Structure 1
Amino acid sequence: MSLKVAIIGGGSSYTPEIIEGMINRYDSFPVTEIVLVDIEAGKEKLEIIGNLAKRMIEKAGKPIHLSWTLDRKKALTNADFVSTQIRVGGLKAREKDERIPLSHGFIGQETNGAGGIFKAFRTIPVLMDIAKDIQELCPNAWMINFTNPAGIVTEALMKHSAHKKVIGVCNIPYNMRHSVAEILNAEPNDVKIEFVGMNHFVFGQKVTVKGIDRTEEVLEKLRDSLDYSPANIVSLGWSKTFIESMKLLPNPYHEYYFHTKEVLAKDIKAYEEHGTRAEVVQKLEDSLFELYKDPELRDKPKELEKRGGAFYSDVACSLMDSIYNNKEDIQTVNTLNNGAIPDLPADAVIEVNSVITKDGPKPIAVGKLPSAVKGIILQMKNFEELVVQAATSGNYQDAYLAFVANPLLADEKQSKVILDEMLIAHQQYLPQFKDVIKTL
C-alpha cells in the first residue's frame, strides 16, 4: 500500500529533521514516497536538501522513493500527509520583523509582537492557497503545519479554508516535557504535562510521572534554575515569587510578556553588537547548507540543533504515525477547542493535550482557565482573532486593532507608526493590503 508525504518548504534547513523522523519510524509508518516542494527562490536549497535526504534514505536502506520539484500541484497529488514549513519572504523578511519594532523601542521577534503579526499577515494568504490545492488534489490528507505563528495560522485555516484536516505543531511542549524529565531523572515518555493556553502562550498546570503528581517538585526546581528554552531564546530565569504565586509552569516565550523590559534591553544590546536573531540565523543557515552539500554527509548534522525549532521531527512524525495507526495516544497539538477550555470559544484553536486518532486529535478537557492567567489568555486569544480577521480582510482598521490589542505593543500612536512602516517594508508579500498600502 502506498503512503505519500509531501513536504512544502522542502528546501528548509529543518527538512533533514523530518526525513530522519520518517526513517526512524519506518516500521510503524512505512512511507513509500516523499516529495519535497519549494518555490523558485528556494531552488538551490531544495536541490541540496533533496540530495542529502536521498543519501540519508540510502544509508538507512529504506525503500522510500524521494523526489523534489517546484510543481506544488504535482507534489500534492494523492498525498496522504502534507507538512507545511514555509517562511514567506525568507529570513530577510524576518530581519525586518525584528529590526523595525526594535528601532522604535519595542520587542522585535518573529512570532511575538509586531513581528509575529506580520509573519501571520504574510503567511496566512499563502497557506490558504495551499489548503485550497490540498482540498482539490488530496482532500483526505492531513495538513501538519509547522509554520509559525502556528496557532494563529491553524486558526485561520480552520475558520477560513475549505480544508479542515489541519493540525498545528510546535516543539515548545516537547522541549518542556524533555527538560522536566531530565530534572526529575525520569524517562520523557513517562512525563505528562497538562497544558492550558495556546501556541507560544501555553502554561503547564500539572506534571505527573507514571501517574504520580510531581508538580510541586518541578515548581521548586523551576524556582532554582530549570531551563527549557530553545536555542533562539536565552533564559532569564523566573523569580521565586512569580512561580509560587502563579503555581504554573511558564514556557520560554512568556519571557517576552513577563520580562518585557529586560528582554527588550537584551535584544537591543544584541542588535547593536551582532545584529538581530535573523542575521545570526542567516549565518548559521549558510554554514548548515555548506555541511549539507558534503557528498559524504549521510546523517542529520548535530549543528542543526542550534536552530530554535530543532526536534520538530519527533513532534510531527509522531503525530503522523499516530494518525496512520489510530494509536489513540496523547500528544500536545494546536487544534479546535471544542469545549476543552470552557472560557474560550469552541472554534478557537488552542494548544492542548489530545488523543490522536485516525480521525484527528480529540482535545482533552482541562477545565476553566486558572484565575492567575485567565485575563491575559483571554486577551491573547482576542488578539489572535483580530490578527486572523486582519490577515483575511486586508482591512487597515483590523490590522491596527490587532496591534493595539497585543500586550507587547498596546500603544495607540506608536502602533500606527510601526504598522505603517511594516506594511510598506513587506508590501510585496501582502497582496491583501495592496489598496491600503497605496494610501500610505
Structure 2
Amino acid sequence: MKQFSIVIAGGGSTYTPGIVMMLLDNLDRFPIRTLKLYDNDAQRQETLGKALGIVLSEKAPDIEYLYTTDPEEAFTDVDFCFAHIRSGQYKMRELDEKIPLKHGVVGQETCGPGGIAYGLRSIGDMIELIDIMEKYSPDCWMLNYSNPAAIISEACRHLRPNSKVLNICDMPVGTLRRMSQIIGKTPQDLEVRYFGLNHFGWWTSVKDKEGNEYLPEIRDYVSEHGYLTQIEVDTQHMDQSWQETHKKAKDLLAIDPRFLPNTYLKYYFYPDYEVGQANPEYTRANEVINGREKEVFSTARTILEKGTAEGSEFAIGSHASFIVDLARAIAFNTHERMIMIVENNGAIANFDNDAMVEVPCIVGTDGPEPLNQGIIPGFERALMYQQVTVEKLVVQAYMEGSYQKLWQALTLSKTVPSAKVAKDVLDDLIEANKDYWPVLK
C-alpha cells in the first residue's frame, strides 16, 4: 500500500497531538512515510513538536518526522496538508467573544460578529498557505478544517477557485456520533441526508445501511434531552458550555420538528438567551485556555521531562477520524460519503448555485461530488439566504476594503439587533484587529 507524506499546518495547535495520535492509530488504513508540523509561531510549536517527536520515535520510528517554521521545508514533497490554523491565536479569540458581549450581542468564534472578525483575519493567512502549498507541492490536497469554515470556503471560491482545497467541519461528525449513541448504533452504520451552511443546517434523514429510518426515534429523544447522551466519549465537546449546547438542541427542534438541527443554530434562534447566559468576563476562550490548552501542554512537558510518552500519552482525537476518511477517499478513490462544504451548483434545488453549502458528498480521487438534497422548505431557505449573504458580504468587504459592506454584513446577521449596534461593534472590532484586518474605507 502506498505511503503518504503529510504536513499539519497549525503545528502548535492544541488539536495537533490528538490528530497525530489518530493518524498513528490508523496507519493500517492510511500509511505514512513522512509527517511534518508547520507553524509560524516557533516557540508555541516547539514544545508540542519535541514531545510528538518522542511519541513517534516510540510508536512509529519508521516515519520520517520534523517540525519547522520554514515553508519550503514543510511543504516540499507532501501529498496532503491538514490545515487548522488560528489567525490571532487565543488572545484574539477572546476579543472576538468579549467585544460583542460588551454590546449585548452574541460573542462566539464562528457565529455573529466574532466569527466575522475571525474570518477577516483568516482569509489572508489561508490564501498565503494555499500559495505556499502550490509552490512547493502543486499536486498536494489541502484538507481544511480551520474556522470559520463558511467564510474561508467562500473566500477560497473567489480567490483560489481552482486550488485543491477541501473544506470540512467536524460538527456534523460529532453530532452523528451522539445520534448513533441514542439508537445504539455506530456512526459507520448510518447514512444521512443533510442540508445547510457550515454551522447552520438540518438533518432530514438518518438511515442504517439496510434503509431503516431512525429520524423519528432520534427526534423523540432530542425533544426531551437534546443531544445529551449517557455515553460521553466525545472528548472535544465535554466542557460544561458544550453540555449546555447539546441540551439546547431540544429548543431548536421545537422551532421545526421535521428536521434535526445543528447545535450552532442556537446562536441565531436564541441570541438573547445566549447573551443572558454568557459571562462577559469569562468566555469560551478562557475555558479553552484554562482547560484544553493547559492539559495538552502539560502532557507535552511531562513527556519531555520523562523522555518518554509511556504513561503520559496524548489522547487520540477520535472526533477527527473524518480527516483520515477524507484523505483515504482522495488517495484510494473509496467514494466515501461525507458531509462537506461545497459550491451548491444545484445540490439544493431552490438555492443559489454559487452559495457554499454543507451537504453529503461522495468523495473520490477527483474530490467531492455533492448529492442532491432536493427542494428545501421556505423557513430554512430564508434563514440560509440571510446567513449566506452575510458570509458573501464579509468576503466582498475583505477584497474591496469596504467598511460599508462589513457594516451591512453585521447588520444582516440574525445575532445583531440593529444597524446602530452593528456599527458600534464594528468600530470596536476594527480597533482590536488593526494589526490583522485590511484597511477599511
TM superposition score normalised by structure 1: 0.91
Instruction: Give 1:300 shift.
Output: 5.0
In 2, the alpha carbon distance for the partners of 1:82 and 1:154 equals 16
**Aligned residue identity for 1:301:** F
The 5 Å alignment of 1:219-238 reads 219-227=219-227, 230=237, 231=239, 232-233=241-242, 234-235=244-245, 236-238=247-249
Q: Does 1:246 align with 2:257?
A: yes
In 2, the alpha carbon distance for the partners of 1:56 and 1:78 equals 23
**Aligned residue identity for 2:227:** D
Aligned to 2:117: 118
The 5 Å alignment of 1:10-409 reads 10-39=11-40, 42-61=41-60, 63-161=62-160, 163-210=162-209, 211-227=211-227, 230=237, 231=239, 232-233=241-242, 234-235=244-245, 236-238=247-249, 242-243=253-254, 245-267=256-278, 270-272=279-281, 275-284=282-291, 285-295=293-303, 296-297=308-309, 301-302=314-315, 311-409=318-416
- Checking the alignment, whether the CA contact within 8 Å between 2:17 and 2:52 is kept in structure 1 is yes
In 1, the alpha carbon distance for the partners of 2:358 and 2:36 equals 28
Give the 3 Å change call, closer, same or farther, for CA 84–242 of structure 1 in structure 2.
closer
CA offset digits 1:264-310 (Å, max 9, x no partner): 1111xx335xx1111221122133201111123357534x8xxxxx6
Partner secondary structure for residue 34 of structure 1: strand
Aligned to 2:231: none
In 2, the alpha carbon distance for the partners of 1:118 and 1:240 equals 28
Give the 3 Å change call, closer, same or farther, for CA 162–352 of structure 1 in structure 2.
closer
Number of residue pairs matched by the alignment: 422
Partner secondary structure for residue 196 of structure 2: strand
In 2, the alpha carbon distance for the partners of 1:359 and 1:331 equals 14
Q: Percent identity?
A: 28
Instruction: Give 1:393 shift.
Output: 2.1
- Checking the alignment, whether the CA contact within 8 Å between 2:14 and 2:296 is kept in structure 1 is yes
Instruction: Give 1:175 shift.
Output: 1.1
In 1, the alpha carbon distance for the partners of 2:165 and 2:428 equals 33
TM superposition score normalised by structure 2: 0.90
Partner secondary structure for residue 174 of structure 2: helix
In 2, the alpha carbon distance for the partners of 1:426 and 1:19 equals 32
Instruction: Give 1:311 shift.
Output: 4.2
Which has the higher mean CA deviation after the structures are superposed, 227-236 or 214-223?
227-236
Instruction: Give 1:123 shift.
Output: 0.3
Give the 3 Å change call, closer, same or farther, for CA 237–283 of structure 1 in structure 2.
closer
In 2, the alpha carbon distance for the partners of 1:393 and 1:37 equals 30
In 1, the alpha carbon distance for the partners of 2:387 and 2:432 equals 26
Instruction: Give 1:246 shift.
Output: 3.5
In 2, the alpha carbon distance for the partners of 1:72 and 1:9 equals 12
Structure 2 stretches of 5 or more lacking a match? Answer: 229-233
**Aligned residue identity for 1:80:** D
Which has the higher mean CA deviation after the structures are superposed, 55-64 or 364-373?
55-64
Give the 3 Å change call, closer, same or farther, for CA 131–412 of structure 1 in structure 2.
same
Instruction: Give 1:239 shift.
Output: 5.0
Give the 3 Å change call, closer, same or farther, for CA 138–403 of structure 1 in structure 2.
same
In 1, the alpha carbon distance for the partners of 2:252 and 2:156 equals 39
- Checking the alignment, whether the CA contact within 8 Å between 1:132 and 1:163 is kept in structure 2 is no
Give the 3 Å change call, closer, same or farther, for CA 244–103 of structure 1 in structure 2.
closer
Which has the higher mean CA deviation after the structures are superposed, 292-301 or 281-290?
292-301
- Checking the alignment, whether the CA contact within 8 Å between 2:105 and 2:271 is kept in structure 1 is no
Partner secondary structure for residue 213 of structure 1: coil
- Checking the alignment, whether the CA contact within 8 Å between 2:249 and 2:263 is kept in structure 1 is no
**Aligned residue identity for 2:433:** H
Structure 1 stretches of 5 or more lacking a match? Answer: 305-309
Instruction: Give 1:241 shift.
Output: 9.3
In 1, the alpha carbon distance for the partners of 2:253 and 2:176 equals 21
Instruction: Give 1:4 shift.
Output: 1.3
